[in-house]
Amino acid sequence: MNAAHARDRLALALDVDDLVVALRLADRLRPYFGVAKVGLELFGAAGPESVSALTSEGYRVFLDLKLHDIPTTVARAARVLGGLGAAFVTVHTQGGEPMLRAAVDGMGEGAASAGAPAPCVLGVTVLTSDGEAGNEVLVARSALAAAAGCGGLVCAAGDLAVTRRAAPGLVTVVPGIRPTGTGDDDQVRTATPTGAITAGADILVIGRAVTAARDPERAAAAVVDEVESCLAPPRG
């Protein structure tokens, strides 16, 4: 298993409010991450330019805005976002199936108008700061995402056994990744890279554990090594 393959499974969370700072981090850590996550903070500071700039740096962009509104509003927003060139865009499954379907359709229309591939719409099941949602919530929301045509789910590693059964075949993106020895910050649904990959995660989202580390490159390299070791076929 090579590092390039591990990079495809790792998303760098650029949770900063300055595009220049974000691009510096992205440049430093590009050898270790194939996906860059743009959340509310960075998108609020730099807008669509954040997506185009990171795409130009060679990243697949994960636009994490968690759309959640009435279907008409979501559809209109999705048409705009669908044409930005992001590879993934999030929408909150709590909004229900009509809203999710509006997001999927809107993203496709926006991408088609821009001559770009349609982004994979990721249904967010439960926020990693929520320690109380039960399995019935996860099952219901995962099933809604699948029925609405979403391409994937965002869920905690500990929820994967439930969500993968409820919505088989969807891409699974797991935030709250904390390498051994790092704090959980404000998240309660956390996991190590090994735990998440073993549970069946397709993409791991890693932010402060690397970006706030004393030596970000060293921290990122350790994550890549851990993911590679999980993905490597057994010897013998």
Catalytic residues: 66
Q: Distance between CA 51 and CA 64 in Å, rounded?
A: 11
Q: How many other C-beta atoms can be found within 10 angstroms of the C-beta atom of residue 189?
A: 20
Packing angle, helices 135-148 and 97-114, rounded to 10:
40
**Residue 234 backbone class (left: φ over 0; alpha: ψ -120 to 50; beta: rest):** beta
The DSSP line for 42-74 is: HHHHHTHHHHHHHHHTTPEEEEEEEE-S-HHHH
Q: In 3D, which of 110, 113, 119, 164 has the Cα closest to residue 142? A: 164
Using the 8-state DSSP alphabet, how is residue 32 labeled? Answer: T
